[in-house]
Structure 1
Amino acid sequence: MIRVAGLFAGIGGIERGFQEALGDDGVSTVLLCESWDAAQKVLEHRFPDTDIHPDVRHLKKLPRGVDVLTAGFPCTDLSQAGRTAGIGGSASGLVTHVFDVLAKQAKRRLPWLLIENVPNMLALDNGKAMSYLVQELESLGYRWAYRTVDSRFTGVPQRRRRVILLASVREDPRSVLFADDAGQHDAGELAEDAYGFYWTEGRRGLGWAVDAVPTLKGGSTLGIPSPPAIWHPEGEPGRRFLKPSISDAEQLQGFPSGWTDVFDDSSRRNGPRWKLVGNAVTVGVSRWVATRIAEPGDSVVEEEMWDRSGRWPTAAWGSDGKIVKVAVSEFPLREPYRHLLDVIEPHSAEELSQRALAGFWNRLSSGNLGRHPGFREHILADLGAAIA
């Protein structure tokens, strides 16, 4: 039985993945620490037998016998979409408390530590955040490995890149993170009947994705969602630009539909649910990690020493000051793929409003983005008199 404790637990994406991989007889979630009351409500509902702690800053110790400590710490200060204040920012800087907890476990160092965050931390300030994480881990005697992965490898149609950092004192994290490699995604496997993009952008980027949505965002705590849009070229005029529902978004993150449907007040357009789902860890990613922790494999990658110049590589491992660059794809596996229109029902999905579409067109038309054949033409046709 693997005992898991989760810090910055969100809605339990990592822990849900461990459950799916190992079953109720193979894993026990003994502690979840989360400060946001909305996320706490989801955790209390979905993990009813687990102790919920409200603040990592005041967590004095872990339960006895923890095998895996997880920490999807806030990415607000590290992501390109966030404040980019760096690892010392008020949100992302909370990761220091993970190492405080580990230091208190000095007499029994944990078998495994799992950290998840955005790839921008490898580049921001020349990877200052990753340098900090590695330094803290090595000071506590842990060896480590990390890998950038794309959530599409789990079969969900969401292009979401995240760094998975795994550390251990007595185990070799390479046997988990580098035991599988399926190569890059085969574009020939993708359907060409739906394309995801962000209608809130247009001048500098679209987040364009074929047969997938771009990375889901958190939206706001006030219940203002920030869903991507979907272009369905084969749809009827007026129904070619759609938005996923919150239930769709849950599935795009690998959760069962309705995972966050635990609130009494649904009058504010799903309340905090969009932010909860957008901030979550894709379930299938942690399912893969848990499977490999239970059954380690042989590393299948090519390696070379890294000279520490510039941004950090997309995958590496190290210990005692040594850093080894790893040549590996972002697709450890290729689980059966759910096409975007297998998740989003085009006949019932909400349409992107004329106002939203017009605002997007105003931004798009000032630049050279969105040149996929038919895309701009369909926007203009669906707007019709609205821009005349």
Structure 2
Amino acid sequence: MFFSPAISNICLGLSILIFVSGLISRKISFSFSKKTLKIYLLICTPFLLTFISFLNSYDTIYSLDFLWLRAPLFVLPLMILNLNNIEKKDIDYAFLLYVFAAFLATVISYVNAIKIYFEHGLFLDPNLTRDYITPIQHPYYGIFTLVAIITLYFYGSIIKQKKVRVFLLVFFSVGVVLSTSRTAILLLLLFLVYTIFSFFKNHKTYRLLVLGSLGVIVFLSVSNTVLKTKIINTLSYWDSPRAWLWDNSYKVIKYSNHKLTGTGIGDFYRIKRSPEKFIHSQRGTYGYNPHNQYLEFLITNGIFGLLYVFTMLYLLYISYRSKTVYTVMIVLIISVFSFTECIFNRQFGIQLYSFFLPVSLILATKKQ
């Protein structure tokens, strides 16, 4: 899940090989119920939108790269939702492996952060974090570590020792702060609010420890000058590169001649431009990553890009109706993260969506 993108490609290839072998040996079978099929089609919405945008591109050769990159959005949910004999112990084992991977990534981040502090005398500096500290892009590291916290909190049975669980929750919480990702830190604070309400409903000692530890995390986030400045700059247009990119995307949509069908994804990204060398224009400029998945689909798919918005809203509704808090939080994390990143332009975002979304929805449907 972490580190080199080559690892994710190898894992995807092995997964497909195992799945095909299971089909041949009849240990795995396609048996979509009406409800499961509906969930699968909902999850596949981003891939279907990308496929339509691919067909709508004049530069179809270049747009093939995006179609291939997003292929796991079509393949992995198909595999996961067809694992009919999956049991709780299987999910627990998968979650345990994930927590272990998150632990390794966080250890690396700790070591790098300490090294950078002694070399530069800076702590929680976003630029240094981006370049030297986290093993993957720092916003994705922050979100993946947050998912590890939530997974460990709701499925504590994967680690029997309570003290170890508390240590890992605190350890990962500091890791989220080390990521300097505003979105991940904000979602961590929302999780803190949830745990406070849960504490008053269910008085358990170890949850009190978690609350106290998360309180320390909040203090670190607010008291650190560099990180606080980054958060405050979000509210100031001229100091926020993301706001520039969102404004550019709005202009591209506003002045587009293809508002209904959108500009093909291959055409929009034909010339990729660096946000670090952003140039303002009156009508918007192609090639800048919008850093907002909803805006990107509106650009590349026109009015049909709203399907992604409706998909996430409906998945939130399904999750809420199932009363499975873990599923609600996973869908909420992906929905909020989509506001600040084009998650389907990076393998780690695709992994987050195509693995955790179907697994969490399986948990929700099994509960029902």
* TM-score bracket relative to the smaller structure: under 0.3
TM-score by length of 1: 0.25
TM-score by length of 2: 0.26
Q: Larger % of helix: which?
A: 2
